Amino acid sequence: MDSAALNALASSDPAAYRRAIRDWIATNLPPAWRSDAIDKVDPTLEELKDWEARMYRAGLWGAAWPKEYGGHGLTLREHLIVSQEVGRVPMPESVNSIGKELAGPIILAIGTEEQKKRFIPAILEMREIWCQGFSEPEAGSDLAGLRTRATHDGKVWRINGQKIWTSGGWRAQRCLLLARTGTLEDRHKGLALFALRMDAPGVTVQRIKQIDGEAEFAQVFFDNAPVEEIDALGAPNEGWKAAVRVLEIERATNRMYRAWRLENELRHLVSACRADPNLATLLSDPAYAQRLAQFRIEVEVLKRYVEGAVEDLVSGGSIGARGSLMKLHWSEAHQRFVALAMELLNQASLPPPPEVRAAQRRFRKAYMRARAETIYAGTSQIQLGIIADRILRLPRAA
């Protein structure tokens, strides 16, 4: 089935639309790429780029983006259906999630017509991978304190400074960069957003080795790096508004499939435990059963958050500070769950059966990565402050 046939089902038969997406993934996803596969194989970057381009051509990516920019012209409801089906299967994470779920929506919201026509198709076709240049060594969650500076020399913008914890910076062609055009004392004022070319002169990328042995993050240095006027996103002094919008998207709708992927993790853990006599006994232990049931409840709550946010957006509403509720909920819940998973799996029979070894591999990586989940996109403390200030409207301490 091609994208035109799939998109036609969206309005005529939503149930068939969902089944077609599910069937396409089942037919086309290499079984060894699944995180729960006993004989798992890690795909290469080029294989992942090709896979995501195929998903786009089949109608799975860009569902809700306008047709005139390469999207499929559907609504966020169809995007949610796609996300649910993507989440159900433990497929590899997107190597261009920043482009598809952060840069793309921002460009569609504040970009010029020329920028939309130039950037959006390149993101969907996987010709340009994006990274996000927000965090700095002295300005992580406090973006108003960032020091990377953008100055105009009469022809182009010149960027000087440093970014850190830049996911995928080493493989990206573009950076959604937030830089200061005013003084440090201006705080939220005098910030600008740019679509910086990562191959521009003066840009240096250094990968950061993580606790799990991988090097997904990078630090990026800018030494008088040029940015053309046509790559400035929005007004020069309105970067903070754009940044807040980016963070609202990141906390609420970025990786919308997350709730269904967490549900898949829970199913995988229980299935692996049932394959081992020691672990099967632990599943019936009331203490473990209660903790597993609690996570199941937390997954359902997250689903309702996501589904409610989609309906509000379709109706013309906005996410606002509720994104912080969602981000705080899933990151804290997932940390507890992967710790529980490791606690269980470490009590397996010796030698563990293949199903348990596969689960140990998956959850060992998930456990280490989850340590960062309460930090990136704003720490839990930042989320609590936003919730207290903008949702509960609690008075500030004197």
Residue numbers annotated as active site: 250
The DSSP symbol for 43 reads P
Q: How far is CA 262 from the centre of its chain?
A: 14
Residue 379, both tokens:
């720490």
232/228 Cα distance (integer angstroms): 7
108/96 Cα distance (integer angstroms): 17
6/293 Cα distance (integer angstroms): 36
Classify each residue of 382-393 as buried b or exposed e, where b means 16 or more C-beta atoms within 10 Å of its C-beta: bbebbbeeeeee
What does the angle CA 21 – CA 15 – CA 32 come to, to the nearest 5 degrees? 25
* Three-state DSSP class for residue 291: helix
User: 3-state DSSP: the chain helix, strand, coil percent, rounded to 5?
Assistant: 55, 15, 35
E strand or H helix that includes residue 241: helix 239-252
- What is the number of other CB atoms lying within 10 angstroms of the CB of residue 46? 8
E strand or H helix that includes residue 203: strand 203-208
275/301 Cα distance (integer angstroms): 29
65/40 Cα distance (integer angstroms): 33
DSSP 118-130: HHHHHHHTTSS-E
Contacts of residue 313, defined as CB under 8 A and 6 or more positions apart, other chains included, come to 76, 253, 319
136/315 Cα distance (integer angstroms): 36
